[in-house]
Amino acid sequence: MMKKAIYYHVIILILFALISCKKKGETEYVTKYSVINDAVTGTNTGLYNNRPLYVNNSNAFILTGDQPVARLAKEQYLYGTFLIGVIRDGKGKWLNQFDQIRSEYRPGRMLWRLSDSSYHDLKIILEVLPMANTTGMAINARTEGARDGDRLIWAYGGAQWKPGQNLAWRWDVTRNAALLKWDFTPGECRNNQIEIDGNISFITVPDSTSEDDNLFRVAIKCNSGSLPTDGEASLWDDPVAFSDSGADALPVLKGTIAPDDEQTIYWAFQAFNKGTAMDLSRVSEPEIAFAEGIKRTESFEERLKINTPDPYLNAAARASVAAIDGTWYPPVFVHGAMAWSVRFPGWRTIFGGTMYGWHDRVMDEARFYIDSQVTESDKKEARADPKTLLTEQHPDSRFYGTGHISRDQAFYDMQSQFFDQIVEEYRWTNNPELVKFFRNALELHLLWMRECFDPDGDGVYESYINVWPTDSQWYNGGGTAEETSYAYRGHLAARDMARNEGDKDAEEFHTKMLEKIRKGFFEKLWIKSKGHSGSYLEQGGHGRLHENPWLYSIFLPVDAGLTPQ
C-alpha cells in the first residue's frame, strides 16, 4: 500500500505547496523546522532521540536527535552513549547544554552547529553517522574560534544488556514521548569494564549468566593523539570535575583534546557481540570509517532527484530513501525501521524498493515468500475457528490451502498486498527472471483469492484483514472495493504475462475474469451518482451497500484501472 498511499499524499502535499508558496522556497507551514541546504533543520528544539539512524540493514541503530547525544544499540544491547563538551577557563559545559544548537538531518546522518554565550567566538560542528558494513558509528568534530587552553572533553559509556527487550521498539519516540528528554544516565555505566589497549579502547559488559565471559565488547578509537582514560560517570554534571576523575562505581571512558581549528577530530565505535570475531581494521582508522559512512549516506541522496516548489516535500522525500533502506533486513523489507521491525509479506515497504530502484532486493523478497507458497493441499472448505469465536479461519480452512503464503502473515491476508506489490515490480521492470517464477505463483494466488473471497463467482471479492488499517475494519463478509481491486490488477498482470508467452488459453481466461470483475464492481459497488464505490456490500440480510467510502475504497480502484478514465 505504501506506494499507492504515497502517490495520493504527494499529490495533496504538492497541491498544498502550490497554493501556499508565496515564492520559491517559501511556504506557509507552521513548524519548528525549516529546510536549509536540503537538510531538515531545527534550532533549540530541546528534543533528544527523535532522529534514529539505521545501521546497515539490521536492527542496529544510532539513537540521536536534535540534541547532540548519540547512542549505539542493537537488539537487546545498548552499546553505549557518546557526548562531548567544552572546558574553558576552569568552566565546562556539555554541548547538549549549549544555548545555541542547530540540528541538521540529511538522509542517514545528523549534524549539529553549536555555540554558547559562555564561550565567545567558539563554534563547534559535530556530525554522526553509521559506519559502513558493520555495527558501528563514526563521529567527527570541527572547531572555529578555539583559544589556547580550551579543551574538548568527550565521554562514552553506559553500555547495557536489556534482556528480552527489542530496543528498536522500546526506543521509538512515536511510542514513548519520554525519550524526547532522555540525555545521559550515569547509572547505566554500572558493571561496565574499561580497557585501554594502546590506541584502541574497549568497553565490555560481562555476561552475568556465564562466568568469565562477556556479552559484547565495543572498540573505540579517536584520532586526536591524546589517549583516553577511565572516569567516574556520577560526576558527569560537572565537566571539570569529571575530566579530572578516575573510575569508581560507575566507570566510563573519557578523553580530553586540545582543539585545533585546522584539524578535524574523528571517532569510531564498533560493537562485537559474544561469539563474533573481532576485526579491528575498520575501527582503527576513524577518518576512513567516517568517509566510508559518508559514501553510504550520499548514495541515499543520489538515489532520488526531486525538485518541487516545496523544500519541505523535497526534504521529506529524500529522507524516505534512508527510511526504506532502514527497513531492508535481507531478504525482506520489514514493517518498520524502529517499532514493528518484523517481517510481513504485505503492508507497505516493498513499493519503496521498487520506486527507489532496489530491484534486486524486491526480487529476493519475492523469491523468499513465493518459496513458502502452498502448491497442493487437501484443505478445500472454508471453516471458521470456534476457538476465536468464529472470527478467524480454522487451521484446516481453505484459507490455508493451495496458493496460501505460509510465512509471516499468521491469520492475516497480507499476501494480497504482497502480490500487488510484486505486480508493480513487474510493471516497472518486465524482468524475465521475475516472470519465470512469479507467473505461476500469481496464478495460484488468484485461484486462492477466488475460492476464499469470491465463492459465489460474482466478481466482487471480500476483504479479510488485507490492508494495514483493517485491524479495526469490519465488512460482515461482503464484497469490497479493496480485494476486488487487488484481484483485478492481478488478473491484468496474469493476462499480460500469458499474452507475452503466447498462452492463448490463459490469456482468454484472464480476459473473461477481468470482464466479470469489472461487471460486478460497477453493478454492485459503484455509486454512479457519487462517482465512487461504496465501502462494502452486506453479505446477508438486506444486502445493502454501505455508501460511505474510505481512502482505500477510493484510490485502490483507480490504481487498479477499474474506474473510468
126-153 as b/e, with b when 16 or more CB fall inside 10 Å? bbbbbbbebbbbbbbbbbeebeeebbbb
Three-state helix/strand/coil letters over 190-243: CCCEEEEECCEEEEEEECCCCCCCEEEEEEEEECCCCCCEEEEHHHCCCHHHHH
Cell of 122: 567558539
* 156 touches 188 (CB < 8 A): no
Least confident of 11-25, 121-135, 200-214, 530-544: 11-25
What is the widest separation between alpha-carbon atoms in the chain?
A: 87
Closest by Cα among 60, 61, 57 to 49: 61
- Does 9 have pLDDT greater than 50? no
Do residues 202 and 220 make contact, with C-beta atoms less than 8 angstroms apart? yes
Please report the pLDDT score of residue 28 as a whole number. Answer: 64
Q: Mean pLDDT across the stretch 445-456?
A: 97
What is the phi/psi pair of residue 109, to 5°?
A: -155, 155
Q: Within 10 Å of residue 21's Cβ, how many Cβ atoms?
A: 16
The neighbour count for residue 91, using CB atoms within 10 Å, is 12
Per-residue model confidence as pLDDT tens digits over 209-245: 777 788 999 999 999 988 899 999 999 999 999 999 9
DSSP helix, strand, coil percent of the chain (3-state; round to 5): 35, 25, 40
DSSP 169: H
Q: 294, 111 in Cβ contact below 8 A?
A: no
Chain mean pLDDT for the chain = 92
Average confidence (pLDDT) over 340-359: 93
Residues near 386 by beta carbon (within 8 Å), at least 6 away in sequence: none
pLDDT at 117: 96
Does residue 18 surpass a pLDDT of 50?
no
Per-residue pLDDT averaged across 307-314, rounded?
Answer: 95
* pLDDT tens-digit readout, 353-387: 999 999 999 999 999 999 999 999 999 999 999 99
Please name the residues in contact with 565: beta carbons below 8 A apart, sequence gap of 6 or more.
Answer: none
pLDDT surpassing 60 at residue 389:
yes
Q: Read off the pLDDT of residues 133-187 as tens digits, 9 standing for 90 and up.
A: 999 999 999 999 999 999 999 999 999 999 999 999 999 999 999 999 999 999 9
C-alpha span between 82 and 68 (Å, rounded): 9
At residue 528, the 3 state secondary structure works out as coil
Q: Where are the alpha helices (DSSP H) in 260-380?
A: 286-303, 311-326, 350-355, 359-370
Report the 10 Å Cβ neighbour count for 545.
Answer: 17
pLDDT single digits (tens) 65-75: 999 999 999 99
Per-residue pLDDT tens over the stretch 99-127: 999 999 999 999 999 999 999 999 999 99
* Helical spans, DSSP H, in 304-357: 311-326, 350-355
Whether the predicted pLDDT of 439 surpasses 80? yes
pLDDT interval class at 43 (50, 70, 90)? very high
Pairing of strands 545-546, 251-257: unpaired
Q: For residues 270 and 55, give the distance between their C-alpha atoms in angstroms, rounded to a whole number.
A: 11
Q: Say what percent of the chain tops pLDDT 90.
A: 84
Q: Is pLDDT above 90 for 20?
A: no
Please identify which residue in the block is written with the cell numbers 505460509. Answer: 406
Query: CA separation (Å) from 523 to 52, 118, 486, 517?
Result: 49, 74, 18, 10
Query: Which is more confidently placed, 97 or 12?
Result: 97
Distance in angstroms (rounded) separating the CA atoms of residues 317 and 101: 25
Q: H or E element: which one contains 417?
A: helix 415-429
The whole-angstrom separation of Cα 23 and Cα 11 is: 19
What strands lie across the sheet with 536-537, from one edge to the other? Answer: 461-462, 479-480, 536-537, 545-546
pTM of the model: 0.91
> Which contiguous run of DSSP H or E holds residue 489?
helix 481-500
Residues 6+ apart with CB under 8 A from 538: 476, 478, 544, 545, 546
Interacting residues of 203 by C-beta distance below 8 A, sequence separation 6+: 79, 80, 156, 157, 159, 192, 193, 194, 195, 217, 218, 220, 253
Amino acid 6: pLDDT? 43
CA distances from 183 to 126, 175, 205, 366, 392 (A): 17, 18, 21, 42, 45
CB atoms inside a 10 Å sphere around CB 494: 24
Nearest CA to 439 out of 377, 379, 507, 376 is that of: 507
Q: Please check the confidence at residue 16 and state whether its pLDDT lies above 60.
A: no
Task: Give the tens place of pLDDT for each residue, 249-303.
Answer: 999 999 999 999 999 999 999 999 998 899 999 999 999 999 999 999 999 999 9
What's the CA gap between 477 and 499, in Å, rounded? 34
- Report how far residue 270's alpha carbon sits from residue 282's, in angstroms, rounded to the nearest whole number: 8
DSSP 1-14: -HHHHHHHHHHHHH
Residue 170 CB coordination number (10 Å): 15
pLDDT, tens digit (0-9, with 9 covering 90-100), for 521-541 = 999 999 999 999 998 999 888
pLDDT for 473? 72
pLDDT of residue 2: 36
Radius of gyration of the chain (CA): 28
In angstroms, the CA 547 to CA 154 distance is 62
